[in-house]
């Protein structure tokens, strides 16, 4: 099968290499010419996925038309804040029968659209699948065991995606709860910033566990209002991705929180970074979405105050711990 990957960051590169290794004719579109050259000529992406050897048949290009030519499966892996632009610019070259797979995790800031919604709006008539779950790009590229979900309202598209990506080290489960899978993948990044701040302040494992657990409750609360199935949050795209991102040393979002907890400002943390920490953008969109739906999300609100309202992290903790007492299931 011919495949195109739109976005050559760490995650897009790892998935493109996986598709190529699985025997698919795969091209990856790269914004940066040096990244395209490195992938095609040296089998590496030193800018975004350093030290990882990619499959030898994978080729990079800066030409969208070349990447998308005849592709039956198109994987979008651009950052959430530019996904709509990337899909819109790619639309002219996406073949009519192509399945669109979305590996981006986030919530669009202006519209509150989930990432599959963005792609569906820009690629009318195409089957769209969300690919999500606990998966660090470096570990996938290093062929370490990983399990994810492919979620779609179109069962055939989910099955096609499952078959295309599955490998001895990469297990894909099909799913039909797109809203739950997407919310889990997006909001866990906000919670990872929160646990990073807690760890940076040296608050201990008890605090980390509390944040993860209550973060899951907030995720489920919003998901319930938006029509997600509660059981989804007990799966790979929910608690699985949440635990990985909140505790793993490779988590960019947790790292942002760690540095802020140790006293850095958001501007200082983000200065000079080439990789995107989606939790920063998603904090804004999640807070606004929750408010529009009348859903209380205290941890999200606290992270927003620390990141964007310059509230000292310890004050945010005092406010979280000092809220009115309530039942755990409320």
Q: Which positions are annotated as active-site residues?
A: 188
Q: Which residues contact 295 (CB under 8 A, 6 or more apart)?
A: 221, 222, 225
Which residue is listed with tokens 């489920």?
220
Helix H or strand E encompassing 140: helix 137-141
Inter-residue long-range contacts of 224-230, CB under 8 Å, 24+ positions, other chains counted: 225/293, 225/294, 225/295, 226/179, 226/183, 226/293, 227/179, 228/177, 228/179, 228/180, 228/183, 229/177, 229/180
Per-residue CA distances from 266 to 137, 197, 247, 280, 300 (Å): 24, 12, 20, 9, 16
Helix and strand element counts for the chain (H, E) = 15, 8
In angstroms, rounded to a whole number, what is the distance separating the alpha carbons of residues 93 and 61? 14
3-state secondary structure of 61: strand
- Residue 147 structure tokens: 């399990």
């Amino acid at each position: 099968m011919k495949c195109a990957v739109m976005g050559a960051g760490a995650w897009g590169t790892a998935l493109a290499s996986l598709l190529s290794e699985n025997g698919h004719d795969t091209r990856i579109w790269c914004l940066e010419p040096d990244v395209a050259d490195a992938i095609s000529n040296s089998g590496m992406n030193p800018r975004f996925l350093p030290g990882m050897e990619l499959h030898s048949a994978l080729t990079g290009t800066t030409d969208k038309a070349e990447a998308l030519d005849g592709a039956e499966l198109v994987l979008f892996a651009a950052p959430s804040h530019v996904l709509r632009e990337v899909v819109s610019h790619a639309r002219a070259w996406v073949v009519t029968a192509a399945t669109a797979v979305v590996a981006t995790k986030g919530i669009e800031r202006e519209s509150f659209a989930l990432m599959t919604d963005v792609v569906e709006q820009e690629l009318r008539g195409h089957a769209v699948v969300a690919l999500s779950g606990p998966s660090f790009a470096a570990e996938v590229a290093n062929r370490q065991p990983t399990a994810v979900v492919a979620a779609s309202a179109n069962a055939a598209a989910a099955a096609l995606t499952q078959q295309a990506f599955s490998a001895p080290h990469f297990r894909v489960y099909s799913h039909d709860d797109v809203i739950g899978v997407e919310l889990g993948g997006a909001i866990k990044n906000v919670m990872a910033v929160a646990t990073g701040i807690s760890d940076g302040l040296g608050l201990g494992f008890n605090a980390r566990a509390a944040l993860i657990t209550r973060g899951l409750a907030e995720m489920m609360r919003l998901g319930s209002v938006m029509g997600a199935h509660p059981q989804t949050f007990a799966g790979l795209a929910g608690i699985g991705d949440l635990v990985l991102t909140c505790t793993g040393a490779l988590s960019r979002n947790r790292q942002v929180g760690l540095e802020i907890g140790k006293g850095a400002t958001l501007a200082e943390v983000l200065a000079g970074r080439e990789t995107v920490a989606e939790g920063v953008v998603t904090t804004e969109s999640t807070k606004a979405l929750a408010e529009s739906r009348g859903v209380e999300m205290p941890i999200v609100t606290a992270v927003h105050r620390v990141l964007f309202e310059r509230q000292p992290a310890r004050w945010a903790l005092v406010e979280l711990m000092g809220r009115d007492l309530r039942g755990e299931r409320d």
